[in-house]
Amino acid sequence: MSSSMSWKSALFLFVLCAAAFASKAVSAAAASPSLEEGVAVLDPSNFDGFIASETFTLVEFYAPWCGHCKSLAPKWAEAAQILEKDDPPIRIAKLDADAHSELAGRFDVQGYPTIKVFRSGSVEEYNGPRETQGIVDFVRSNLPAHTTLADKKEYDAFVKEAGKKVIGVFRVPAKGAVSTAFANAARTLKKEATFGLWADGKYDAKAKAYAKHNIESIVKGAKAPMILVVDNKGVFSKCSLSGDKLAAITKCVTDGEGLTKLA
């Protein structure tokens, strides 16, 4: 009797767990936006997740009956299809603000179409072009202007290139005032230096791979975040990050103020 009950209990628990797993899978699928001609289709179930997953994106708030929205639609789709072929792919989105007025209200949408720029947690009005190529150019010009250094090969190639280098060292995921300032500096100072991001907290494990450029003693055991500036001779300096982070990085890169030679 007890053996029979044990078997039935085990079966019941298995079915219960399977149902819970299936429910979570369906929920996750529902939270992923579908695509229409390359454009991510947003609604209350996937909006916040999509925005959180994108460092930079544009969202069109539209109404199906709006004439200006109908005029913009093919250009928006064309831009989306161009951007999704970039490496890595770039995604722009749309939200039916008429059907989801409460969500649109969070962003003070008062007319259609309204386009909002979502950038690393901040939101602003889009006042750029509304033609296909203009939209594409705007998005590309606003993407993070840094290279992610994933391994020794990428690091060596990055440092070998001519010109001043700026390397941000952050834990994963990169968050906070310093990483935000680094991203902003990479965009505004791209003519002054080349920016690279070493977003990996496993310093000890990776240190020896970078010993060729005297970075082992700098990075091993270091506490993130930190900014390293590498001159044309491969000499490392650490950037002082006191006060306004963006201003500090700018001074380090443009005139060498606040730099401490490390190797």
Q: Is the residue at 18 inside a domain? A: no
Give the residue numbers marked as catalytic. 66-69
pLDDT digits (tens, 9 = 90+) for 217-229: 555 555 667 788 8
**Mean pLDDT, all residues of the chain:** 79
CATH of the domain at 122: 3.40.30.10
Instruction: Tell me the whole-structure pTM to 2 decimals.
Output: 0.53
State the DSSP code for 240: P
User: In terms of residue numbers, what domain contains 51?
Assistant: 34-141
Q: What pLDDT was estimated at residue 7? A: 52
Q: Which two tokens stand for residue 223?
A: 């506490």
| pLDDT greater at residue 198 or residue 117 | 117
pLDDT, tens only, 161-215: 777 888 887 765 556 777 778 877 887 787 888 888 876 545 444 444 444 455 5
Tell me the pLDDT tens digit for each residue of 26-58. Answer: 344 446 899 999 999 999 999 999 999 888 999
Six-digit token string for 253 = 């890169």
Q: What does the DSSP 8-state code read for residue 193?
A: -
Does 106 lie in the same domain as 45? yes
Q: The tokens of 23 are what? A: 């429910």
Are residues 117 and 155 both part of a single domain?
Answer: no
Whether 79 and 136 have beta carbons less than 8 Å apart is answered as yes
